[in-house]
Structure 1
């Protein structure tokens, strides 16, 4: 048994477990309704949730959610707590187990929801717990943590004064004989050994969950909307985070990659606009442009969008990277152009059917995880008679891994800038890239077949020379092509 584990068991055993169990047994119907609402409004939408209650203590959440029809397992490292939980749930036949929060004996992808109530502040290795919880969550599953910054008064003088003021007011009229705040000022060896005490939360949790590649991380700083006597000292916050599917995780890594490339690509776009290379690109595809409303998919830092807007087209640019879009806004502003830039997923474009006359996509299509779905979305938002223009290169098929990395990251110097900014190293994003459909096999052949199944007048032509490519990189673009089609 780990030393920290033994310390925790000792701290929460015996009379403390019994008293905590009594407190839970005395909860009211309104309290049950409150907690059920707080949990279920943040939980995945399923009729029957597979739930793990971590640090179940006397079993409150396990009992509550089980009575609502969900399949719940409650775990706690303290045997006395599990004994109390079983006593509290007599007749319900619930699943309670003695188990450590960072060493779960469950298979991967077992649960839809992991809940924890006022427990994580006691855990000495929360990053390991979050990692383990992620493992046993099914894709789309969520963690939901309720906790508080206990003992924060020892680290924040303003907080200590606030609590002292509350204590003084409640003791007034009692001639100082008042037990509600007895011990609030006392140091204890147990909490001195808890790393989460004194750690700024929930900010720390947000950062840890980002590091572990959760998505949709939300924080509610205080869940009680009305004054509650139990929240005078330590307001309870809520943290929710979702485990992405493998496909969603790939998208998150791609988004992170382009966020990291924002500064480099922003400079590249500015230079292309300033030197006229972006204008030359628009001229090279000009015969394929229809109408005036243009959608630039994977617009990046606005190299194409700005060049089109300068010619009077009404341009909308979409990209998965917020950083890229900020750079695109800057490029448009510096060139006196109006472009509607929107963060969007190319697999689900946020526009009505038949919104655009032309859809363009430059050097982005090879990055799409589901290219067929993207083509269907492009087809959907095009008007009848509208044009699709894709220019790209068989990047990963042309080169070995080292060469592809060199091309994709432009130069060693720019790649170093990206890594030094704190984004994922090459090995992470390159692993994703080599698994994308367009980067295996016959890219242009795939595109010919896919386009002919949706569009008319389709053509995929090799040897296209992209004028916007920097002269130093042109020799590395071995198999460029242009693909065009009509709706």
Structure 2
């Protein structure tokens, strides 16, 4: 029972952290979408990995303020969004009114959704926060219809991306020193403490996510790091040191299919 209580406590902290961040979430590039170029980049990315909606059903997990839910609805899906934070959901409901989107408080590791009921499961920046990714992936496999697809957008903020990630990280530190931005707020310490206790505390490596998806039973697993169009569009609204920091990180989408 100790591990269960620990996980529930950690989830409470994660919920409270993102509830606190909800007040400014939509003001930050990389969270909200600020340009048509970025919106088109996201639509193309999800269409490439999730296929034609054809009136299907999509489950958006850790739906936050509804950014991804709105994109999935624009692609033609009927969307259910789940999030632990009621504060996030309140903002999402205001943004998604009149759209084919239903939003509920819910846990990505235990959704209470019916088995074989969704064509698509989509997440953005969720997996790195999960206390138990293997349990989450089993749950996503269960709720997907045979042949359904999962799309996981995430980031490894600890390990530099393959290629020139280490060099970009050095440049980012120099640019930050020159820019001398304000020190991080109190939320940074809370964030770092949470990160130290999640499953991917040493980095959310896409290869490890892919391995876990394969163990769950998913097939046709693909890792795609080509998010350049999205990152270019986001970068127009970021200072140089932030652009370099993000470019040094391993950012990706992983897609996979439930057999059938």
* Bin of the TM-score, shorter chain as denominator length: 0.7 to 0.9
CA contact (8 A) 1:53 1:114 kept: yes
CA shift in 2, pair 1:168/1:131, >3 Å? same
Q: How does 1:309-348 map to 2 (within 5 A)?
A: none
Deviations, residues 202-250 of structure 1 (Å, cap 9, x unaligned): 11111111111211111113422686334324242111110002xxxxx
CA shift in 2, pair 1:159/1:194, >3 Å? farther
1:17 corresponds to which of 14, 17, 22:
22
Aligned position for 2:208:
204
Aligned position for 1:243:
258
CA shift in 2, pair 1:240/1:233, >3 Å? same
Q: How does 1:429-440 map to 2 (within 5 A)?
A: none
Find the aligned partners of 1:239 and 1:107 in 2 and give their Cα distance.
24
CA shift in 2, pair 1:222/1:182, >3 Å? farther
List runs of 5+ in structure 1 lacking aligned partners. Answer: 246-487
Give the 3-state SS of the residue equivalent to 2:170 in structure 1. helix
1:178 corresponds to which of 171, 181, 192:
181
TM-score of the pair, normalised by structure 1? 0.45
Deviations, residues 64-85 of structure 1 (Å, cap 9, x unaligned): 2213332111111111111111
Find the aligned partners of 2:174 and 2:74 in 1 and give their Cα distance.
41
Aligned position for 2:239:
none
Give the 3-state SS of the residue equivalent to 2:49 in structure 1. coil
* RMSD across aligned positions (CA): 2.7
Tell me how far 1:201 sits from its aligned partner. Answer: 1.0
Give the 3-state SS of the residue equivalent to 2:50 in structure 1. coil
Deviates more, 1:22-31 or 1:1-10: 22-31
Give the 3-state SS of the residue equivalent to 1:219 in structure 2. strand
Deviations, residues 334-364 of structure 1 (Å, cap 9, x unaligned): xxxxxxxxxxxxxxxxxxxxxxxxxxxxxxx
2:76 corresponds to which of 55, 61, 69:
69
Give the 3-state SS of the residue equivalent to 1:138 in structure 2. strand
1:94 maps onto 2:101 in alignment:
yes
Find the aligned partners of 1:46 and 1:220 in 2 and give their Cα distance.
20
How many equivalent residue pairs?
236
CA contact (8 A) 2:38 2:230 kept: no
Give the 3-state SS of the residue equivalent to 1:12 in structure 2. helix
Give the 3-state SS of the residue equivalent to 2:223 in structure 1. strand
Larger radius of gyration: 1
1:232 corresponds to which of 222, 235, 247:
247
CA shift in 2, pair 1:84/1:227, >3 Å? closer
TM-score of the pair, normalised by structure 2? 0.80
Aligned position for 2:151:
144
Aligned position for 2:174:
168
